[in-house]
Amino acid sequence: QVLRQDSYDSIYYRVLGPSGEEIAGDEGLPGPPADRELKDGFLAYDTAYKGQNVRAVTLRAQCGSQSCSVLVAETTVKRKRLQRDILFSSLLPEMLIAVATLLIVWFGVKRGLGPLARLSDEIKARSPGDLRPIDPAGTPEETRPLVSALNGLLGEVAQASRNQQRFLANAAHQLRTPLAGLQAHTELALAKPVPTEVRSELEQVHQATIRTARLANQLLALARAEPGARGNAAELNLKSLAESEADAWVHQALARDVDLGFELEPAPVQGDAFLLREALANLVHNAIEYSQRGGRVTVRTGRNGTHSFLEVEDDGPGIPPAERDRVLERFYRVPGTPGTGSGLGLAIVREIASGHGATISITDAMAGSSATRGCRVAITFPYG
């Protein structure tokens, strides 16, 4: 019994005579498969016995003067444990080595690509108009040609942008002088007694001259608002800017019978005084221009937490929600809008706001205000 069983497996045997008769051992222990022959009197095979998988051996032996077959079989518990032990002892270290290799490769690639990632983040953080050259310091030697090529491209784009701005500014500037002269001449002509038909034509010429002069001024402002053409920022107060321009706006409002009001609180910002005045002028001009006669326009400045704001509100026809993004595009006017504007005013305001890190929003007139319809344009500036 000790020889036939250990703590893991059981051993079976069977002895067959020359004619296959049972001599001794475990009855029913399967012999070798019929399709396999003994080689040199020996054959090993897998089979099953008493519901267990066994590894069996058949050996041809001499039993006295006769030949007999000895069958020995053992269950496979130890073999499977040995296979598992071998698998773990060889595969586990290989897996650990593979994981360690992957970690080393990942760390090496991440570290190697770190400068490129920082370069990518730096480019993503730039505003669309920031065309400064990229600093090649800290980038891998292999990427220096790429950085150099990018800097060359940025330089060409910056030069093209400067040329475009210069052309636009020069063209607008060259138009201002003859337009101012033409406007003065038409005003002098209108001050004299002239026939009704001639006066009507002169008034049309005068209004067209005013519109063209305003367009030239807007083009100049747009050229200055472009990235790369902005002046140095200084600490300003939107309240003071609005107060300094109030007289000109009041005159325009009185001419159109519009009630222009001011609700001004201190609103410090860092910005370009010329551009901020232009933004204010465009907002107020649009509000007065598109308000009905007898309407109201309100200019507000103030602080909201860490932000300063400028708002211009009117009770005109308003801007449909579906058009509020498009009116910020250059030369776009809402279909059916009365008047003869160029569609540049709000585009200039957007450029100026963007250049100051500010956001612009267009909503309906504030609830509870004097406006029962209309539009409110707000610019919010970061400060503090």
Strand-pair partners of 73: 12, 56
Q: Among all chains, which residue has been given the structure tokens 């770190």?
A: 114
**Does the domain formed by 11-75 have CATH 1.10.10?**
no
Which amino acid is residue 162, in one-letter code?
Answer: R
CA distances from residue 277 to 103, 173, 236, 313, 325 in whole angstroms, order as listed: 58, 18, 11, 17, 23
Q: Quick one: how far is CA 71 from the chain centroid?
A: 76
Kindly state the tokens that stand for 382. 């970061």
Contact 74, 9 (CB under 8 A): yes
3-class secondary-structure state, position 57? strand
pLDDT at 381: 92
Burial class (CB in 10 A: 0-12, 13-18, 19+), 288: buried
pLDDT digits over 355-374, tens only? 888 999 999 875 555 545 68
Show the beta-strand stretches assigned E in 272-306.
Answer: 296-304
Could you identify the residue written with the tokens 């300094």? 244
- The CATH architecture one would assign to domain 234-382 is 2-Layer Sandwich (3.30)
Instruction: Return d(Cα 86, Cα 221) in angstroms, integer.
Output: 81
- Read off the tokens for 255: 């001419």
pLDDT, tens digit only, all 384 positions of the chain = 445 667 788 889 898 888 888 888 888 888 888 888 888 888 999 999 988 999 999 998 887 778 888 999 999 888 888 888 888 888 888 888 999 999 999 988 888 777 778 888 888 887 666 778 888 877 777 788 888 898 899 888 888 877 877 777 677 677 777 878 888 888 888 888 888 888 888 888 887 887 777 777 777 776 666 665 555 678 899 999 999 888 888 888 888 899 999 999 999 998 888 889 888 988 998 888 888 888 899 999 999 888 999 999 998 888 888 888 888 887 777 776 666 666 778 888 888 888 888 999 999 875 555 545 688 999 999 875
The β-bridge relationship of strands 296-304 and 259-264 is parallel
Q: Are 168 and 222 in contact (CB under 8 A)?
A: yes
| Residue among 132, 90, 134, 139 nearest 116 (CA) | 139
